Amino acid sequence: MTRSRSKYDSGCPVAYALDIFGDRWSLLVIRDMAVKGARTYGELLAGWEGISTNILAQRLKQLEQAGIITKQKDPDSGRSFVYELTQKGRDLAPVLIEIALWSGRYNPDPDAMTGFLDKITADRTGTEARMRAGERP
Amino acid sequence: MTRSRSKYDSGCPVAYALDIFGDRWSLLVIRDMAVKGARTYGELLAGWEGISTNILAQRLKQLEQAGIITKQKDPDSGRSFVYELTQKGRDLAPVLIEIALWSGRYNPDPDAMTGFLDKITADRTGTEARMRAGERP
DNA sequence: CTGGATCCCAATAGATACTG
DNA sequence: CAGTATCTATTGGGATCCAG
């Protein structure tokens, strides 16, 4: 955390959250881990949008410092690292779900939602997974 | 929409949404309108974090183009403008709520949530306002 | 080969000063 | 009040380099 944390911290809960993932890429990284099950640097690099290497490395560091993810050596092979969501990170699933539901209502692309909610809810407790997906106006 | 729309559009619903409000300020502007009832440029400028004038102008333009807000001349006085959330914009309330709930669980500042949920849910239909706020671990 | 650091350079975001 | 202009800082893409 070289800088900028708390620069915008007004005490508002939304500002607190945006301080952590309020940028172009952080939430996409979290999504790749929560929805696609991405666990390595390489898998994340190959994400749907194509993040570049320096940005990915920087975001992983920030997310780790914020307690959203952990980084460990691969237990099996010793080579390579494994990133995983913490509870704090997994608890962002409802946020991702609400965003996806909102997009489902307003994104003109009818294929965009395909498979998304199934996957993200699959590893969740289900507490807040009241799916009212097909509400396109 | 001069540029950048769809630059990141991978078809993912989260990417679609982040294309619209996935930056440092857009969601804070929406929050100021949804929670604080801010309706004019001046009210938004005086927000909790202090956005600068050019950024505010730019974001208002983008949000209007995205159909999140509308801009009209003040009906009473003719001078000044009034910005208002559209239905599409008001439908982002669940996203704001989930973000606030998440912050409520993890933001160490105990005062941060004060009054937030009351205000944001006040002008909503209540459909998805299942408040399970006090879950701080 | 995987994970990541680094450098270059283009493009964006942002603070401040100023204007209709 | 509601912005625009200008100038600086930060982000991001792409290539390359390097360590385990």
In this structure, are residues B8 and B19 in contact, taking their beta carbons and an 8 Å threshold?
yes
Give yes or no for residue A136 having a pLDDT over 90: no
More confident: B23 or A122: B23
**For residue B5, is it within any domain?**
no
Containing structural domain, residue B19: 13-132
Predicted local distance difference test score (pLDDT) of residue A75: 67
Q: Give the pLDDT mean for A68-91.
A: 88
- Provide, as residue numbers in chain B, all residues whose Cβ is less than 8 Å from the Cβ of A109: 11, 16
- pLDDT tens digits for A17-73? 999 999 999 999 999 999 999 999 999 998 878 899 999 999 999 999 999 999 998
With cut-offs at 50, 70 and 90, classify the pLDDT of residue A122: low
Nearest chain A alpha carbon to B132: A128
Predicted local distance difference test score (pLDDT) of residue A8: 59
More confident: A11 or B127: A11
With cut-offs at 50, 70 and 90, classify the pLDDT of residue B132: very low
With cut-offs at 50, 70 and 90, classify the pLDDT of residue B122: low
Q: Which CATH number fits the domain that encloses residue A118?
A: 1.10.10.10
Give yes or no for residue A16 having a pLDDT over 70: yes
Please spell the DSSP secondary structure of A30-75, one letter per residue: HHHHHTS---SHHHHHTSSS---HHHHHHHHHHHHHTTSEEEEE-T
Those residues whose beta carbons lie under 7 A from strand D are A 3-4, 23-25, 50-55, 79; B 40-42, 53-54, 57, 60, 71, 80-81
With cut-offs at 50, 70 and 90, classify the pLDDT of residue A11: confident
Max CA pair span of chain B: 51
Q: Give the pLDDT mean for B2-30.
A: 80
A-to-B residue pairs, Cβ atoms closer than 8 angstroms:
130
- pLDDT tens digits for B47-105? 878 899 999 999 999 999 999 999 998 877 666 899 999 999 999 999 999 999 999 99
Spanning CA of B53 to C1' of D4, the rounded length in angstroms is: 10
Alpha helices in chain B (DSSP H): 13-21, 26-34, 41-45, 53-65, 87-90, 93-106, 116-122
Place of tokens 């409520």: B104
Cα–Cα distance between B114 and A13 in angstroms, integer?
Answer: 9
Instruction: Give the total number of structural domains in chain A.
Output: 1
Give yes or no for residue A83 having a pLDDT over 80: yes
**For residue B28, is it within any domain?**
yes
**For residue B6, is it within any domain?**
no
Nearest chain B alpha carbon to A128: B130
Predicted local distance difference test score (pLDDT) of residue B129: 41
CB contact under 8 A, B28 and A15: yes
Give yes or no for residue B135 having a pLDDT over 50: no
Predicted local distance difference test score (pLDDT) of residue A31: 95
- pLDDT tens digits for B32-48? 999 999 999 999 998 87
Comparing every residue's Cα with the C1' atom of nucleotide D2, the nearest one is: B41
- Provide, as residue numbers in chain A, all residues whose Cβ is less than 8 Å from the Cβ of B104: 13
- pLDDT tens digits for A103-119? 999 987 777 788 888 88
- Provide, as residue numbers in chain B, all residues whose Cβ is less than 8 Å from the Cβ of A63: none
With cut-offs at 50, 70 and 90, classify the pLDDT of residue A3: very low
